Structure 1
Amino acid sequence: MDADKSTLLSQGSAAYREYLTAQAVAAHVTAQALGLGPTDFFGLNLIALAGSMTAGELAERTGLSTGAVTRLIDRLERAGYVRRAPDPADRRKVVVEPTPDPDGRIDAVLAPQRTRMGEVFADFEPRQLVVLFDYFARAAIALRQTAHDLQGD
């Protein structure tokens, strides 16, 4: 790696750490606004992104035990954010699906963040957005792998 890139990466480290911390704080506050704990909010987000998943898949993605995931799903179901449904591929299994947001509670809580992030993205050219979104996708893989490694799986 050349010296200029090394210097840039060193200087960018603080900005990156600041971003990660702000993201984590925003997620915690968002979870609280929805009446959820942070782990429940992260689990709900994983379920919503996947469309549905089994408890085992959620345990694998979160690193939680199956017992902890069952309790997480119970809390999300009681709060009306998910429902259990028969797995169409295996009737012995259950999948967890996000429920619609009929009262708009989730959208209302996320609206300010979506607006502000939309303003940030509006300042970038389309080719820059391609780079940003490529970064998000690749960084998500790297972060999931890091979590997997730290869990010792």
Structure 2
Amino acid sequence: MTKRESLLDDSARLMRDFMTYAVLFQDSVARAAGLTASDLQALGMLINDGPASPGLLASRTGISAGGGITQLVDRLESAGFVRRERSATDRRRVVVSPVVQEVERRVGPLYAQIGAEWQEYLQSLSDEDLQVCVKFMTAAVEINRRHLEHD
């Protein structure tokens, strides 16, 4: 096996490990916050991508429009993490908006330790290493998002 083949094998194994532990960590955070993993992922999408109609949120998450997404939004609203609002442009349309302050207050502390460790590690990297990390993570997000949209 060449050095490159070995590095590619190591990269594949580490990506599998990273994704496994990321999913398990997210599930742990969700349970600690009284949410399901899907609830937490949808909440993250609302925070990162902005308010969305239930239909768009269903499309983004892969959760069925109708009952499934309605139950998810109901849980998040009951927990105080989102609110339903009428669209400013079409009063018939509902938009789900995150209550960011409440998420930061109740969920933020669950990420404090891991966030601090990541910041410490990232601060130790050179600018060039950070550029490689950003390029890699950007590609990983886009590849994952693209495959989620096709499934």
Instruction: Decide: shared fold, TM above 0.5.
Output: yes
Q: Which deviates more from structure 2 when the two are superposed, residues 49-58 or residues 3-12?
A: 3-12
TM-score, structure 2 length as denominator?
0.90
Q: Shift in Å at residue 147 of structure 1?
A: 2.3
Q: How does 1:25-44 map to 2 (within 5 A)?
A: 25-44=24-43
Q: Specify the alignment match of 2:64 in structure 1.
A: 65
Report the 3-state secondary structure (helix = DSSP H, G, I; strand = E; otherwise coil) of the residue aligned with 2:101: coil
C-alpha RMSD of the superposition: 1.6
**Alignment partner of 1:97 is 2:97:** yes
Report the 3-state secondary structure (helix = DSSP H, G, I; strand = E; otherwise coil) of the residue aligned with 2:35: coil
Separation (CA, whole Å) in 2 of partners of 1:89 and 1:120: 45
Query: Is 2:86–2:94's contact at 8 Å kept on the other side of the alignment?
Result: yes
Separation (CA, whole Å) in 2 of partners of 1:120 and 1:31: 25
Q: Shift in Å at residue 118 of structure 1?
A: 0.9
Runs of 5+ unmatched residues, structure 2:
none
Which one-letter code corresponds to 2:14 in the other structure? A
Q: 1:70 to 1:11 in 2, by over 3 A?
A: same
Q: Shift in Å at residue 123 of structure 1?
A: 2.1
Q: Specify the alignment match of 1:125 in structure 2.
A: 126
Which one-letter code corresponds to 1:130 in the other structure? Q
Which one-letter code corresponds to 1:122 in the other structure? Q
Q: Specify the alignment match of 1:134 in structure 2.
A: 135
TM-score, structure 1 length as denominator?
0.89
Which string of whole-angstrom CA distances, capped at 9 and with x for unpartnered residues, describes residues 104-147 of structure 1? 21221111121111122122112211221222222111112222
Report the 3-state secondary structure (helix = DSSP H, G, I; strand = E; otherwise coil) of the residue aligned with 2:57: helix
Report the 3-state secondary structure (helix = DSSP H, G, I; strand = E; otherwise coil) of the residue aligned with 2:34: coil
Separation (CA, whole Å) in 2 of partners of 1:144 and 1:136: 12
Separation (CA, whole Å) in 1 of partners of 2:111 and 2:85: 27
Which string of whole-angstrom CA distances, capped at 9 and with x for unpartnered residues, describes residues 70-102 of structure 1? 110000000000001111222211111111335
Count of paired positions: 148
- Fraction of identical pairs, as percent: 30
Separation (CA, whole Å) in 2 of partners of 1:87 and 1:130: 39
Which one-letter code corresponds to 1:116 in the other structure? E
Compare the two structures and name the one with the higher strand fraction: 1
Q: Specify the alignment match of 1:80 in structure 2.
A: 80
Which string of whole-angstrom CA distances, capped at 9 and with x for unpartnered residues, describes residues 31-72 of structure 1? 011110101000110111122111111111111111211110
Separation (CA, whole Å) in 2 of partners of 1:6 and 1:78: 51
Runs of 5+ unmatched residues, structure 1:
none
> Which portions of structure 1, spanning 4 or more consecutive aligned residues, are displaced by more than 6 angstroms?
none
Q: How does 1:2-17 map to 2 (within 5 A)?
A: 3-17=2-16
